[in-house]
DNA sequence: ACTATATTTCGATATATATCGAAATATAGA
DNA sequence: TCTATATTTCGATATATATCGAAATATAGT
């Protein structure tokens, strides 16, 4: 009759899953993510320099501080990694 | 150098995608969704009666009105359908 | 028609989120 | 070290969201 009650592990998984969904639930942030994704893929082929925050911001009409903030959230959700090199590289 | 600018179609897709993510971004709502999903699958096998709002609420400790509200959002995002039969059936 | 049960809507509230501009910090190159 | 550029942090604000309980509505069975 009843549907599965969740174990503690399941619950943690759900939390992470919800967090990932949340990270992608904002249109701007999804756009940032898409930009990072596409640019990264492209730059791997070409050995080009990889997308910087600034770079991304120029594709999306929004302030740098906001982009930076969204990047942090994507990082926290584990959807994006980044390394530094003068210009932060994704 | 630049990464693809998005067409109008792409933009609409992104909007829908973000909306779907948003619908699943809340832990409670994700739990509701999971319950619906699991219960529906089970009841298809058994020809049992399918999960009602009330039923779901008893699995999750939260008020009926809130569940109802979340169900509406899931419906709007197109992630869930429901039909009536005295007890609403999902 | 009446009653019990299921579900939705309403109005309120507390909390979270997205966004900005300014200030702070970091790095590269002269 | 000084400067220009890139990025992050801070503080403020406006908007959105989750949640509740109560009231309204719907349905089934008597």
Residues of chain B with C-beta less than 8 angstroms from the C-beta of A26? 18, 22
- The residue-averaged pLDDT of B6-29 equals 92
For A62, residues 6+ apart whose C-beta sits below 8 A from its C-beta are A28
- What is the tens place of the pLDDT at every residue in B22-81? 999 999 999 999 988 887 766 655 544 556 776 776 778 899 999 999 999 999 999 988
Distance CA A55, CA A90 (A): 11
Q: Which residue is nearest to nucleotide C28 (CA to C1')?
A: A86
């Amino acid at each position: 009759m009843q549907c599965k009650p969740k174990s503690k592990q399941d619950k943690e998984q759900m939390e992470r899953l919800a967090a990932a969904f949340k990270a992608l639930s904002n249109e701007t942030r999804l756009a940032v993510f898409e930009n990072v994704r596409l640019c990264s893929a492209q730059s791997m082929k070409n050995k080009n320099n990889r997308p910087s925050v600034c770079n991304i911001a120029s594709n999306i009409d929004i302030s740098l501080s906001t982009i930076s903030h969204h990047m942090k959230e994507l990082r926290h959700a584990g959807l994006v990694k980044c390394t530094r090199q003068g210009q932060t590289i994704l």
